[in-house]
Chain A
Amino acid sequence: MKQGLSVLGLINRALEDFLKRRHGAALWQRVVQRARLPFDSFEPLLSYDPGLTDAVLNAACAELGRARESILEDLGTALVSQRERDGLRRLLRFGGVSFRDFLHSLEELPDRARLALPDLHLPALYLEDRGGGQFAILAVPPFAGAGFILIGLLRAMADDYGALVLLDMAASRQGRDVISVLLLDEAHSQGRRFDLAVGAP
């Protein structure tokens, strides 16, 4: 296992919380058994064997009869849009005052994360601005399908900013997931309010 904190602990725990909330504790127990996990809950700040993430995902796909991509995209959306846990949405909103700003801030994300947790290594993200509202986001996925979490997350963030976007997984390039973003309207709807400080009047 490499030194430092892998993002997998966070993803595993997020997946666990998502499955429990969306499908119930009983489903999660079936996933635990099917995946033969040696425990029944992940700790977000611990490191795990990458194989466990795959095992949990495969088990969840089998239990739910759903494709890995669609589960992961839903997970990404839930991470941001869940009202009772506002933390990640707020942290991402600090990236910029508009969705375009936010897209540009994605490249800073691993450095921002390291400010908080010096040992945490998020996968590097690259943004290609192709002009005319067309962007591509490139990232090496920590496991197969991880890019779909990002798609779900971007979709929810666009909604949060009130932007109208088209998102798609393009053909991968040299082991990197490529997500194409077409920004159609930055001020499509009002979006959700964001105060810099929690509890602002």
Chain B
Amino acid sequence: MARQAAQGRGQGAARLVLPKGSLDRLMPMHLALSASGQITALGPTLAKIVRRAAVEDAAILGLDFFDLFEVCRPSGVTTAAALHARQGERLHLGLRGGGAEFRGLALCDDAGGLVMNLSFGIGVVDAVRTHALTDADFAATDLTVELLYLVEVKRAVLGELQRLNLRLQGAKSEAEAQAMTDTLTGLRNRRALDLRLAQAIADALPFALMHLDLDRFKAVNDTLGHGAGDQVLRVVAQVLAAETRTGDLVARVGGDEFVILLPGMTDAARLGAVAGRIIAALSRPIPYEGHLCQIGASVGLTISTRYAAPTAEAMLQDADLALYAAKRAGRGRMMAFSDELASGQGTVPAARAF
């Protein structure tokens, strides 16, 4: 057996004899076993843990190793002989009845017994907590305390990152709520329109409102897919931007619905010309991946000067009414809101089927 302990170093390798107290400090979780497997010594930290597992101090020495511990891996290590056969291998063991798990390494001593050193392995944080271990329970060279330190730093940093993430998420949704741009087309969005419309009404300056709806857009989406639909919307946005003035506001307010606010423009002929150019431009096929998308546009119009006290709600509703009248009249055309339309309101719902 002594020969085996000196394995790899050859016969006559330097022999080291240590008093128990030194071994306690070098390996506070060691265990010495007799040739027949009785516990003859154990380090102070291990003693503390075993004690906590309700085994009386004096009773530990002389106990059979397997009365107190069980080897989980490798399997089948249930006798002193089997333990001897596994010397030099990493063992996974635990206190019988639970309470602690260890990694272990066993090597022969001069007397045919075994000296075993244990550590907590990956469960070290729980073990330190459960057994209320302190710095003094570990060898001065042991990095367990550094490991605990890292676990704690990691928790602190992760907590901080989580708080940062929450703040960023909050900021992002706030920014999104405050955004005024439609991300797909780059046009203004509903929120921007509402603000500008309220401003125009408050300023009491004349303006026109056009409500534009694409014809046959659904067919493009259904036959060529959303990619084609998105491309069509981007081209429509370019056309609307090109056919309006810098000071006009063009907003996408729904899937294929747009509203244009034209400040200072109330002349029916000029408005008709603008709408006509837009409708003509949008009646030209839009190429998409070798296909031609044929859409069109209908426009409903209303002018602020028609109202004694214009409100955003009334104007948007009237432009909408005019739009559906234009659709009902055969699409691809512009219709201005009029008293006749207002009085003929009862017939409009039937036209909403478009």
> Chain A interface (Cβ within 8 Å of chain B)?
43-45, 87, 90-91, 94, 97, 112, 115-117, 195-201
| Partner pick for A115 among B135, B136, B153, B161, CB 8 A cutoff | B153
Q: Is B160 an interface residue (CB 8 A)?
A: yes
- B 156-178 contacts with A by CB, 8 A: 156-157, 160-161, 164, 167
Q: Using CB atoms, name the residue of chain B closest to A90.
A: B152
Known contacts A45-B161, A87-B156, A94-B145; 13 further A-B pairs (Cβ under 8 A): A43-B164, A44-B164, A90-B152, A91-B149, A91-B152, A112-B149, A116-B154, A195-B129, A196-B133, A197-B125, A197-B133, A199-B129, A200-B129
CB-contact partner of B160 in A44, A199, A200, under 8 A: A44
Q: Does B242 contact A (CB under 8 A)?
A: no
Minimal beta-carbon separation of A46 from chain B (angstroms): 8
What's the Cα separation between A27 and B319 when bound, in Å?
52
Determine the chain A residues whose CB is within 8 A of the CB of B149 once the complex forms. Answer: 91, 94, 112, 115
**A144 to B197 CA separation, bound complex (whole angstroms):** 53
Q: With A45-B160, A97-B136 in contact, is A196–B128 under 8 Å at CB?
A: yes
Contact A116 B150 (CB under 8 A): yes
Whether, in the assembled complex, B58 has its beta carbon less than 8 Å from a beta carbon of chain A, the answer is no
Cα distance A43–B167 when bound, in Å? 9
| A63 and B78 alpha carbons, distance in the complex (Å) | 74
Min distance, Cβ B123 to any Cβ of chain A, angstroms = 11
Q: 7 A-B Cβ contacts within 8 A?
A: A43-B167, A45-B164, A94-B146, A115-B153, A116-B150, A196-B145, A200-B129
Number of residue pairs A-B, CB distance < 8 angstroms: 58
Across the interface, do A196 and B161 meet the contact criterion of CB distance under 8 Å? no
Q: Closest approach, in angstroms, between the C-beta of B57 and any C-beta of chain A?
A: 20
A199 vs B160: C-alpha distance in the bound complex, in angstroms?
20
**Distance, CA A37 to CA B179, complexed state (A):** 24
Instruction: Please name the residue on chain B nearest to A46 by beta carbon.
Output: B164
Q: Check B14 for interface membership: any CB of A closer than 8 A.
A: no
Given A43-B167, A45-B161, A97-B135, the answer on whether A196 and B148 have CB atoms closer than 8 Å is yes
Distance, CA A117 to CA B145, complexed state (A): 18
B132 proximal to A (CB < 8 A): yes
Give the nearest-CB partner of B153 in chain A: A116
Does B223 count as interface, using CB distance less than 8 angstroms?
no
Q: State which residues 114-150 of B face A: CB under 8 Å.
A: 125-126, 128-130, 132-136, 145-146, 148-150
Residues of A within 8 A of B167 (CB): 43
CB–CB B128/A197 < 8 A: yes
The residue in chain B whose Cβ has the minimal distance to the Cβ of A96 is B135
Closest to B134 in A: A196
**Residues of A with C-beta under 8 A to B152:** 87, 90-91, 94, 198
| Contact present for A91 and B132 (CB under 8 Å) | no
Q: Report the bound CA distance from A45 to B163 in whole Å.
A: 11
A45: chain B residues at CB < 8 Å are 160-161, 164
Q: A45-B160, A97-B135, A196-B148 are in contact. Are A91 and B153 (CB under 8 A)?
A: yes
Q: Which residue of A lies closest to B129 (CB)?
A: A197
Closest 7 CB pairs of A and B: A116-B153, A197-B129, A94-B149, A197-B128, A87-B156, A97-B135, A200-B129
Which partner residue on chain B sits nearest A195 by CB separation? Answer: B132
* B156 engages A91 (CB within 8 Å): yes
Counting chain A CB atoms within 10 Å of each CB, the highest count among B125, B148, B149 belongs to B149
